[in-house]
Amino acid sequence: MPDGVRALDAAGEEFYPCELAAPLHTKSSILTRKVHNELGLPGPRYPSEQLPAGNEEVPPLRTHIPLVAAQAPPQLIGAPLSDFADEACRAMDRHPDAELLVFPELHLFGDGVPDRQRVEALRSSAEPLDGPRVEGLADLARELGVWLVPGSLCEAGTRGELFNTQIVLSPAGELAGSYRKIFPWRPHEPYDPGDRFAVVDLNGAGRVGLNICYDAWFPETTRQLAWMGADIILNVVKTTTPDRALELVLARANAIVNQVFVVSVNCAGPTGEGRSLVVDPEGTVLAEAPDAAPTLLAVDLDLTALDRVRAVGTAGVSRVWAQFRPGEAPIDLPVYAGRIDPATWAPQPRE
């Protein structure tokens, strides 16, 4: 192995496998899968239970996922769902190979132009996730045959809460996952905070971490999602203020320090500041909207890039998820009344 590169087996014991003269990952190499699992690399896309017993060939897991991030102005509260269906269909017509279609935060909850976001209007439009709105959106996802993230929704809680909730709908028309925004933008937003993080598996085409706007300002959120095995952070945004320029920095920083893809899709003008972007695990911008005009960012994400950067390091040197050595003491974090435990530092493997 290259000097300074250390590996652990499943029991946490250090060992030194064969010299690696080339990147670890190819699209269909069984040997690649075995090496990846033997190395104990964080967040492997090839779980050990999927390895062949001998030399038999097994179908490779998906290594790419084509996505479209739709920078668009919000639909007005009360607009028929058919308006959004038409919008989503137009996006798919332009990019028929897309498998993941993502819209901005609160895309179906515009409150006029300028967008007033009145509490009473938002609350009156809220529904539980088993209501007719999500049912209609699920039907749309099935008709399109796509993983659909219609931004976030106003969710009515069982005790009168108002949540800002991001959902993921599967191509089969099922609610695959949901996430209530943990960090509402206070004092400007009326939403009750959620209390748990969420990731969603896309049936062998990666794992997405759900993330809403101001969450990105708290680095713990992206770190937690990466630790939960997320390949792609879907940060849906409704930024109408000049600090969008700072969010572009945060998107790249969160991608770099967690070695994940970040998709930050903001609403278009005249409501939003736009400037949506897609960032790779080393912070390289793969696609970016230059302004607030409505646009579609279409990107084919190469998921092997994530594995590669975690194996050889960001810029070929920094392997943040392989920082600790066996037996090192936990690091207390008084701000959280918690700690970093080296024994549990690496991201969780996919099931």
Residues taking part in catalysis: 105, 181, 213
**Cα–Cα distance, 345 to 324 (Å, whole number):** 8
Here the tokens at position 1 are 């192995």
Q: Helix 30-39 to helix 304-312 angle, to the nearest 10 degrees?
A: 50
Query: What pairing do the DSSP bridges indicate for beta strands 277-279 and 261-265?
Result: antiparallel
Per-residue burial over 113-122, b = 16 or more CB atoms within 10 Å of its CB, e = otherwise = eebebeeebb
In DSSP terms, 297 is beta-bridged to: 69
CB-based burial, 307-316: b 16+ in 10 Å, e otherwise = bbbbbbbbee
Question: 61: closest CA among 304, 270, 322, 306?
Answer: 304
On whether the CB atoms of residues 98 and 298 are closer than 8 A, the answer is yes
CA-CA-CA-CA dihedral for 25, 31, 37, 38, to nearest 10: -120
